[in-house]
Amino acid sequence: MTGKHTDQRIEFLASRIRDVQDFPKPGIGFKDITPLLADPRAFTTCIDLLAEHCAGRRIDAILAIESRGSIFGAALAARLTASFIPARKPGKLPAATDRVTYVLEYGEDSLEIHKDALAPGTRVMVIDDVIATGGTAWAAMELVRRQRGEVVGASFVIELGFLDGRKRLAPIEPFALLKY
């Protein structure tokens, strides 16, 4: 995806991201995607660009990380005619689950998917709204691997490059529409 047309679409998306200072706590500069979601043209453009990135790959399933990643993941799965798999916080899925716990800057968190979410060999693209330190995306990829699926990529609307989360996902090379 190169060229003037794509650059204009990326600039358009960037214009729909709102900076909110001191959220969720003092000193944090939050990238708010709600203006992008509120603009049907911007949301469609975002899904178009994510789908273009997936073109030419065989993707059987989109695994999206709750909560905002699921907004993009469900739309992308429908566009690609792929399965949609929600990765949720513990206790949110109704059937038996697999769980991965991962380290955050201050503590731990966990993600779960249903134990029967993936058949062995399922080719999965992981989707989230933001990659920061990479911990949540790493956990989602680990869930795929534990169910003997194949992670074919990880895509994000926003990358906070200064937090260097892409290193944690190696050897997968993450893709992001917007980089800060």
Q: Give catalytic residue positions.
A: 68, 105
Closest by CA to 102, choosing from 156, 168, 173, is 168
- What residue has token string 């794509």? 6
Beta strands in the chain (DSSP E): 18-21, 29-32, 61-65, 83-87, 97-104, 107-114, 123-131, 150-159, 175-179
Closest by CA to 65, choosing from 159, 133, 154, 150, is 154
